[in-house]
Chains A and B, each alone.
Chain A
Amino acid sequence: MNELIDALMVLLVLMNLRLLGSSRLAACIRIVATEGIALGLLPLLLVWSQTSASSVEPGLSGRMIFLSVASVLTRGVLFPWLLLKAQRDAKVRREAEPFLSYPLSIIAGVLTLVLSFWLRSRLPPSFASGPPLLVPVALSTILVGLLVVVSRRLAISQVLGYIVMENGIYVLGLALVREIPALVEMGVLLDAFVAVFVMSIVTHHISRQFDHIDVDQMDSLKG
C-alpha cells in the first residue's frame, strides 16, 4: 500500500508547487482545500497499509473514521468556504506582487524539498520507519507554508500559508506519533478551525477599515 501513500505525497508536493506559482486567490484556496481532503484520507491509508503488511484484522476504528471525516469537512469544506467568503468581501482576485516572484517561489519550493530530504537523512534512525516519503514531504510542506506566510502580501494568502503549515504538521504528526490521543487531535483540529475563523473575521475588519487586505501596507506601528 506504500505506493498509494507515496503517490498521495507526490500529489501533495505538486499541489504545494502549484500554490507557490499561482496568483489567483480563488485557485489557491481550492488547491489548499484539495490538499486538506487528500490529507483527511491519509490516516485511513496508513492504517490500511499497516494492517495489510502485518495481516492482522483491520484496525479501522470508528474513532479513526470520525477523525478523518471531521478533518475532511474542516479542511476541505469549511476552510475554503470561509476564505472564499472573505475573498468576495474584500473584492480581491489575485495577489499582484508578492515579495518573492512566482518563478522564484517555485525554485524555493523545490529547494525546500531538497532541504527536507537532506534533513531526513540526518535524522535519527527512529524516524526511518513507515512510508519513506512521509517525513520529508511533511517537512517540505511546513516550509512551503512558512514561505507563503512570509512572502505574500495579502491577508488571505497568509492565512493559506498558515493552513498549509498546519497540513504539514498534521502529516508529520501521523509519521512520528501514530497514536495521538483523539482528544488532542480534536483539540488541534478545533484550534486550526478557530484560527482560520478568527483570521477571516479580522480580514473582514481589515478590508472594511482599509479598503484593502494588503498586510504590507499596514505599517503604522514601528520601533
Chain B
Amino acid sequence: MKVSYLLWAVLVLPAAAGGACLLLRSVRAALLWVVVAVGAASAVAAAAAWSVFTGGPIEAGAGWLYLDALSAYHLLLLHAVFLLSSIYAYSYFRREASFGAAQARRFGALWMGSLAAMALVLVSNNLGIVWVGVEATTLLTAFLICTHVSPSSLEATWKYLIMCSVGVAFAFIGTLLVAASAGSSHLATGDALLWTHLRAVAANLDPATLKMGFIFLLVGYGTKTGLVPMHNWLPDAHSQAPAPVSAVFSGFLLNTALYCILRYVPLVEIATKNSHWALDLLVGFGVLSILIAGAFIVFQHDAKRLLAYHSVEHMGIIALGVGLGGLGTFAAMFHVLNHSLCKSLGFCSAGRLGQMYGTHDIAQMAGSAHDAPVWGRGFLLSLLALIGLAPFAIFMSEFQILKAAADRSAFGIMTLFLAGTGVVFVGALRHAIGAAWDPPVRHPTPEHAGVVDRALVLVPLAILLVLGLWMPESLRLALNQAADVIRGLPQKGGF
C-alpha cells in the first residue's frame, strides 16, 4: 500500500464515520461507534506517523497534503487525546440522564467532524486550507460547547464563536500577506500558498511583508491558542462545555492553532536571516500568558476554569520554549505531549467529580480523595503534575525550558518564568490539597468506577511518570525531528 493513501485515510475516515454516526439509533451505539472509529483513525495516523519518522516526509494529492515530523508528531498526539476523550465520553455521557439519542448522534457527528478538521489542519500543505481547517474546527466545536443548551453555555458559545471567528479572520490576512511576500521570488502563482514551496524559497521572501503577516498570524491563531491578551473566550468555553469536549479543547484544539503559528516560524526566521524576531515575539506572548494566567489561577473557585487557566499558562510555556530556541524548542515539543495528556486527565476527572458533586466549585469538592478514590485522586494528581511537581514529565520539560533560557543568558525571562510558575504552583497547590483532603462539605453520589475508568486515570499518569524519569531514545529522536522543522534545519529522517 502506498503511504500517501494513509494521508487521505486520516481525513476521510473520521469524516465518513461522523456521517455514519447520524444513522445510529441509541446513545450507546453512537458513543461506542465513536470509540471504534477514533481507534481505527488512530491506527491509521500511527502508521502514517511511523512512516514519517522512519522514512522522512510524505506528500500526497499533488503536493496539497504533506506530513513531516512536526505534523506527524502533532497528528499522533491529536489521536491520542481523541482516543482518551472518546473512551471517557462513553462513560461520561452514559451517566447523564438528559443525554438523548438525538444529542448522541449530533455529538458523534460533530466530534468526528472536528477530528477530521483538526487532521486537515495538520496534514495540509496549503496554508489557505490550513486556515479553512482551523475555521472549520471553530464552527464544528461551537455546538459541542452547548451540547446541553443553557444560558451560560450559550453565552460561552457565542463568545467563542465571535472571538475565534474574528481572530482567525486576522490569521487569514496574515496568510495572504505571507503569500504576497513570495511575490518577489517568482513563484508560480498557484504555489504561493504551499508551505513546502515557501520553505524552499524562504530565503528570498520579502522580510517586511512576511513580518507583518506573522504579526497577523500570531494575533489570529493566537486567539484560538488562548495566548494572553486574546484568551477571554477560553475559560468560559472550557468550563461550559461537557468534560470530554473540554478535554479535547484543552488537550489539542489549542495546540492545533499553536501548530499553525509554529509552521510560520521557520519561514520568518530564514527570511530575516535568523534575527530571532519571530522567536522574541513568541517569548513575549509566552511570558505574558504565564504571568496573567498565574494571577487568575490563584483566585479561581471553579475546577474547570482553574484547568482552563492552566491551559493558558501551558500554551504560554510552549510558546516561550519555542521562542527560546535550541534546547527550548525540543523541550516545548516535549511539553506539548505532557500537557495534552495531563490536561485530558484533569478535565476528565473534574468532569466526573462535577457529575458526582453537582457543582464545579472546588470548595464543594472537599474531601474528594476519600469520597471518590479514582477520580478525586486523578484530579489531585493531574493538578500536581500540571504545576510541575518533580517526578512527573512536566517538571522535566519545564526544567529544560529553564535551562534553554539559562543557555541564552536570558536571566530576566528566567526570573519571570520562575515567578509565574511559582505563583501557579502555590496557588494551584492550595486548591488541589483543599479539594483532596479538606473536611467534606457535601456528600457525592457514589463513584462506581470500573476498570476502564481506572485505566483512564492510571495510563496517562503512568506515562507522565515514566517520561519524567526516563525518556526512550525513539521519542527523543522524534521530538528532535519535530523541533528541527521549527528550527528550520533540514530533515534528517530515520530513527
Mutual binders A and B: yes
Please list the residues of chain A having a beta carbon within 8 angstroms of any beta carbon in chain B. 123-124, 126-127, 142, 146, 149, 155, 158, 162, 165-166, 169, 172-173, 176-181, 183-184, 187-188, 190-191, 194-195, 198-199, 202, 205-206, 209-210, 215, 218-221, 223
Q: Closest CB-CB distance, B197 to chain A, in whole Å?
A: 12
In the complex, what distance in Å separates the CA atom of A169 from the CA atom of B177?
11
Q: How many A-B residue pairs have CB under 8 A?
A: 127
Q: Closest CB-CB distance, B141 to chain A, in whole Å?
A: 10
Q: Closest CB-CB distance, A174 to chain B, in whole Å?
A: 10
Interface 9-mer from B46-54, B66-74, B168-176, B388-396: B168-176
Contacts of B173 in A (CB 8 A): 142, 169, 172
Interface size on B, residues (CB 8 A): 52
Contacts of B235 in A (CB 8 A): 221, 223
Q: Closest CB-CB distance, B211 to chain A, in whole Å?
A: 10
Q: Is the CB of A215 within 8 A of B209?
A: no
Q: Is the CB of B206 within 8 A of A166?
A: no
In the complex, what distance in Å separates the CA atom of A215 from the CA atom of B169?
21
Q: Is the CB of A205 within 8 A of B154?
A: yes
Q: Is the CB of B132 within 8 A of A191?
A: yes
**B151 beta carbon closer than 8 Å to chain A:** yes
* Residue among A146, A155, A178, A191 with the highest chain B CB neighbour number at 10 A: A191
Partner of A177 from the list B129, B139, B180 (CB cut-off 8 Å) is B180
In the complex, what distance in Å separates the CA atom of A173 from the CA atom of B206?
17
Can you list 13 A-B contacts (CB < 8 A)? A126-B180, A169-B176, A177-B176, A180-B179, A184-B193, A188-B131, A191-B132, A195-B135, A199-B161, A199-B165, A205-B146, A221-B235, A223-B299
Q: Is the CB of A191 within 8 A of B139?
A: yes
**B239 beta carbon closer than 8 Å to chain A:** yes
Q: Is the CB of A124 within 8 A of B206?
A: yes
Q: Is the CB of A184 within 8 A of B239?
A: no
**B142 beta carbon closer than 8 Å to chain A:** yes
Q: At the interface, is chain A mostly helix, strand, loop or mixed?
A: helix
In the complex, what distance in Å separates the CA atom of A177 from the CA atom of B213?
13
- Assess A209 versus B154: contact at CB under 8 Å? Given A126-B183, A149-B166, A181-B126: yes
**B195 beta carbon closer than 8 Å to chain A:** no
Partner of A220 from the list B126, B152, B169, B300 (CB cut-off 8 Å) is B152
Q: Is the CB of B142 within 8 A of A198?
A: yes
In the complex, what distance in Å separates the CA atom of A191 from the CA atom of B140?
11
Additional 10 contacts, C-beta under 8 A, given A162-B162, A184-B128, A198-B139: A123-B209, A124-B208, A126-B209, A127-B209, A165-B166, A177-B179, A179-B190, A194-B139, A220-B155, A221-B155
In the complex, what distance in Å separates the CA atom of A172 from the CA atom of B175?
11
> Lowest 5 CB-CB distances: which A-B pairs, in order?
A184-B128, A187-B132, A179-B189, A176-B180, A218-B155
In the complex, what distance in Å separates the CA atom of A179 from the CA atom of B151?
44
In the complex, what distance in Å separates the CA atom of A149 from the CA atom of B167?
12
**B397 beta carbon closer than 8 Å to chain A:** no
Partner of A183 from the list B129, B139, B189 (CB cut-off 8 Å) is B129
**B296 beta carbon closer than 8 Å to chain A:** yes
